[in-house]
Amino acid sequence: MNFKRLFFLTFFSITIIFASGLNAQDTTLTIGSKLAKQKVNYYDFSDPLKVNFEVIAWGGFKYPGKYLVPEGTTMMDLMTFAGLPLNSDLLENVRLLRTKDITAKYQSATVVKYNFKKFFQKETTDFSAENPLVKPGDILLIPLEPEKTFWDYLKEAFVLVGPIASILSLIITINNSKN
């Protein structure tokens, strides 16, 4: 009888241990959960008490992708969710692509350009900027890298020309020392 009781208690204990593991659930995909990642590059910032819709952040963001956001989300909110780029020069050319109809081709979309770089300049005293609400189907675009200036191209040229000039100078010096 003790053997039956021991067997029953052991079997019951093992069953409880394994069954408790089956009841454990991943709750990161609940509605309204902040930073819930359901798919690759799909982020859920929804609010169960509001109407939610999808928008896209592309380009030089830290976390580009599709976002489920509640009504009342602004461009700055979406840029914050997507992770601002480390290079503030990229914020000089932020574009919002908006179609007139969500099912329409993006050929008929309006594109509005914004400059948020001024927020990161040292002597900024004017923090006013247009910060529109995003709408369903909007695409927020930031360049992958800043546009190059004349000085950037000149620096790249010196990187190539410098070693070549040094080698030519060495060859000329060797030739002159032989004569």
Q: What is the pLDDT of residues 64-88, one digit of tens each?
A: 999 999 999 999 899 999 988 877 7
Residues above pLDDT 90, as percent of the chain: 15
CA distances from 122 to 20, 80, 88, 152 (A): 56, 20, 12, 22
Rounded Cα–Cα distance for residues 10 and 12 (Å): 5
- Specify the pLDDT at position 69: 94
- Specify the pLDDT at position 29: 39
Give the tens place of pLDDT for each residue, 107-151: 667 888 888 777 777 776 666 678 889 999 899 988 887 666 777
- Specify the pLDDT at position 171: 87
- Specify the pLDDT at position 31: 47
Rounded Cα–Cα distance for residues 28 and 6 (Å): 40
What H or E segment, with its residue span, contains residue 79? helix 75-82
Please give the structure tokens belonging to residue 151: 């000085």
CATH number of the 36-150 domain: 3.10.560
Q: Domain ranges in the chain?
A: 36-150
For residue 22, what pLDDT band results from cuts at 50, 70 and 90? very low
129, 119 contact by CB (below 8 A): yes
- Across the range 44-61, mean pLDDT stands at 90
Cβ contacts of 112-117, under 8 Å, gap ≥ 24 = 114/75, 115/91, 116/76, 116/79, 116/91, 116/92, 117/88, 117/89, 117/91, 117/92
Q: What share of the chain is helix, strand, coil (3-state, %, to 5)?
A: 40, 20, 40
- Specify the pLDDT at position 54: 92
- The pTM score is 0.58
141, 59 contact by CB (below 8 A): yes
Please give the structure tokens belonging to residue 59: 């380009």
- Specify the pLDDT at position 108: 65
For residue 27, what pLDDT band results from cuts at 50, 70 and 90? very low
